[in-house]
């Protein structure tokens, strides 16, 4: 007799995490419209319905169309008040659907200028998150221990590729080094950002990790080795967008050269067709060894189903082609994430329900996936505190599932 799958109503009540969550892709629509009006940023429409029709769609034709929305959101996040507000609202939106932990990532250099340096950009986002955390954890239910406390952290994100027009900060790099190869400028920018991240973390701000995003093809992660070595030397968590639009060797480079603890997306982990390195003769053997390496070292894969479906043509019509099932069968550590709540028009409840519905997860499988997100987060505290907190989350999850008729106690730890 097949095991009963959890329903969406139950999923909405369960404790969830979101480890791959971009600030500039997750604004509230009303906030975007209000900020655009205040800052005189021209939008294609001034109404939520208009923006959903013209910019933030259910389905996109290609990656450039998907990325178009970021032009407007980033333009509206160029001062401390806007960034603090966006971070605060994002944390509150997460908690409203029982996300008890989120890591908000963003590229500070997209928002900085000579008058608004990177350290103040980071501080503004941290301030918004901390304000939300204080409000959430001040609720009676949390204070009485009836539910886990809310936790959050910031991941600063470097870019593999940028142009001078992206921001005043990036323009300054090109102007200061007019004769330098572009790859050296990208590397310098990421190293400076890593230094700012380390300084913020050591000053007590909840900066927990370092990330690298952007086009993989032609812009290898190894160019940013110095930045990642600095983050590694100072005990920051490391994650890299890899295997999203390039092959398995991009993932291997991220976990070796960049010391990645987690991989953003990792969609092509199993796909020999996407191996471009001609020195790899036996592609299947290479993939088998890579998968074993990733699984054995618990390098967590941050899976964003809706986002992948919107940007990868072969997944649009049939999400069953996504390697999520293979990842689980290979015993990889997998965490479900939203990527961009606004741009992808999704929530964590949507993502988890999509996984349950598409891949027929039963209650125990769902529990395992949910708990990986908490266990593999870059928790902003001591290991002892993290263990106690994860235990409180696990107890709450099991109680919720038991109350709905799913007894999952005694499962994997």
Q: What is the 3 state secondary structure string of 11-76?
A: HHHCCEEEEEEEHHHCCCHHHHHHHHHHHCCCCCCCCHHHHHHHCCCCCCCCHHHHHHHHHHHHHC
Q: What is the pLDDT of residues 175-220, one digit of tens each?
A: 999 999 999 999 999 999 999 999 999 999 999 999 999 988 889 9
Read off the pLDDT of residues 304-324 as tens digits, 9 standing for 90 and up.
Answer: 999 999 988 889 889 999 999
With 50 as the cut, is the pLDDT of residue 239 above it?
A: yes
Phi and psi, residue 158, nearest 5°: -90, 160
Give the C-alpha separation, 222 to 385, whole Å: 34
Q: Is the pLDDT of residue 413 over 70?
A: no
Query: Using 50, 70 and 90 to split pLDDT, how confident is the model at 412?
Result: very low
Percent over 90 (pLDDT), the chain:
89
Give the list of residues 6+ apart from residue 157 with CB closer than 8 angstroms, or none.
22, 105, 106, 107, 108, 210, 211, 212, 213
How crowded is residue 59: how many other Cβ atoms within 10 Å of its Cβ?
10
How is residue 72 written in tokens? 């407007």
The one catalytic residue in 84, 151, 216, 244 is: 244
- Please give the average per-residue pLDDT across 45-67, as a whole number: 91
Sheet holding 151-159, edge to edge: 16-22, 99-106, 151-159, 207-213, 237-242, 262-265, 300-303, 334-336
pLDDT digits (tens, 9 = 90+) for 320-341: 999 999 999 999 999 999 999 9
Q: Is 115 a catalytic residue?
A: no
Place of tokens 């398995």: 248
pLDDT band at 42 (very low <50, low <70, confident <90, very high): very high
- Is residue 30 pLDDT above 50, yes or no? yes
Q: What percent of the chain has pLDDT over 70?
A: 98
Q: Which domains does the chain have, with CATH numbers?
A: 8-27+77-157+193-216+232-403 (3.20.20.140)
**Mean pLDDT within 90-113:** 97
- pLDDT category at 1 given cuts 50, 70, 90 is very low
Q: What's the mean pLDDT in 117-128?
A: 98
| pLDDT band of 276, cuts 50, 70, 90 | confident
Mean pLDDT, range 89-98, rounded to an integer: 98
Contact 288, 244 (CB under 8 A): no
């Amino acid at each position: 007799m097949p095991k009963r799958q959890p329903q969406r109503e139950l999923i909405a009540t369960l404790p969830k995490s979101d480890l791959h969550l971009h600030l500039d892709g997750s604004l509230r629509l009303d906030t975007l419209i209000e900020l655009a009006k205040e800052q005189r940023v021209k939008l294609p429409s001034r109404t939520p319905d208009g923006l959903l029709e013209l910019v933030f769609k259910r389905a996109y034709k290609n990656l450039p169309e998907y990325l178009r929305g970021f032009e407007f959101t980033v333009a509206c996040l160029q001062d401390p008040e806007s960034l603090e507000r966006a971070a605060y609202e994002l944390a509150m939106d997460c908690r409203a659907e029982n996300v008890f932990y989120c890591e908000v990532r963003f590229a500070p250099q997209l928002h900085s200028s000579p008058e608004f340096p990177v350290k103040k950009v980071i501080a503004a986002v941290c301030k918004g998150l901390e304000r939300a955390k204080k409000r959430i954890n001040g609720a009676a239910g949390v204070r009485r221990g009836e539910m886990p406390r809310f936790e959050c952290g910031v991941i600063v994100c470097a870019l593999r590729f940028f142009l001078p027009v992206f921001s005043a900060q990036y323009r300054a790099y090109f102007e200061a080094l007019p004769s330098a190869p572009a790859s050296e400028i990208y590397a310098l920018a990421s190293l400076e950002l890593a230094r700012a991240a380390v300084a913020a973390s050591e000053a007590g701000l909840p900066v927990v990790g370092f990330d690298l995003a952007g086009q993989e093809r032609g812009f290898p992660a190894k160019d940013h080795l110095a930045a990642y070595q600095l983050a590694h030397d100072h005990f920051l968590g490391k994650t890299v967008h890899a295997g999203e639009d390039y092959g398995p060797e991009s993932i291997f480079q991220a976990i070796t050269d960049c010391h990645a603890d987690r991989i953003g997306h990792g969609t092509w982990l199993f796909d020999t067709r996407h191996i471009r390195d001609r020195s790899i003769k036996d592609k299947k053997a290479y993939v088998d060894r890579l998968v074993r390496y990733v699984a054995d070292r618990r390098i967590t894969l941050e899976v964003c189903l809706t986002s992948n479906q919107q940007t990868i043509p072969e997944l649009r019509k049939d999400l069953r082609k996504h390697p999520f099932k293979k990842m689980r069968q290979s015993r990889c550590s997998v965490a479900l994430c939203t990527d961009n709540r606004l741009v992808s028009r999704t929530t964590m409840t949507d993502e988890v329900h999509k996984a349950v519905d598409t891949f027929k997860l039963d209650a125990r499988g769902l529990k395992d996936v949910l708990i990986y997100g908490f266990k593999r987060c870059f928790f902003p505290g001591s290991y002892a505190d993290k263990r106690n907190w994860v235990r409180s989350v696990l107890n709450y999850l099991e109680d919720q599932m038991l109350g709905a008729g799913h007894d999952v106690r005694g499962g994997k730890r």
